[in-house]
Amino acid sequence: MMRRANNWEAPHWVRLYVLSATRGGDGWLWYAMGLVILAFGGETRFEALGAAGLSSALSVLLFSQLKRLTGRRRPCQIAPHCWATLLPPDRFSFPSGHTMTAFAVAIPLSLFYPTLSIGLLFCALSIAMSRILLGMHFLSDVVAGALIGTGLGYLGYFAFQ
């Protein structure tokens, strides 16, 4: 699967989409969402932001440690990618930090604001998929990141419930 993703000559629109999704996962999308919720989130906005903030902070701490422990090389270090020229944010692949944090933020916000669930989960899934298509992660990195991030998201939600 890695070789197929790395050798796929993606159409221009797909390239733009995955580059935009992965850049959204760099953090600015979640900060912007936080500002929107702060302004329009109603009575539970502080709890929602606290839950998402706690989950994302735990995500960053955890994936940083897991990456060092596993030391797994990235797909783009094993085989060159045909069109993506992004530099990885760090040396190690497992788990996907972008994916972990995306789900760690999307899950508690979805639980506090169910009407936003589809959009939030679409963003998190787009970020996860982009990491594979850009040659930054293996499928297992992304699946593990989504599962751990989801667990952290629920933890954050219940901590502020």
Q: How far is it, in rounded angstroms, from Cα 61 to Cα 105?
A: 14
Confidence class of residue 151 from pLDDT cuts 50, 70 and 90?
Answer: very high
Q: What is the mean pLDDT of residues 124-128?
A: 94
Q: How far is it, in rounded angstroms, from Cα 5 to Cα 121?
A: 22
Mean of pLDDT over the chain: 88
Question: Has residue 148 got a pLDDT over 80?
Answer: yes
Question: Has residue 56 got a pLDDT over 90?
Answer: yes
Q: What is the mean pLDDT of residues 7-11?
A: 75
Q: How far is it, in rounded angstroms, from Cα 5 to Cα 7?
A: 6
Over residues 59-99, the pLDDT tens digits come to: 999 998 998 898 888 777 777 665 666 666 777 878 998 99
Over residues 91-123, the pLDDT tens digits come to: 787 899 899 999 999 999 999 999 999 999 999
Which letter does DSSP use for residue 156 in this model?
A: H
- DSSP class per residue in 116-151: GHHHHHHHHHHHHHHHHHTTS--HHHHHHHHHHHHH
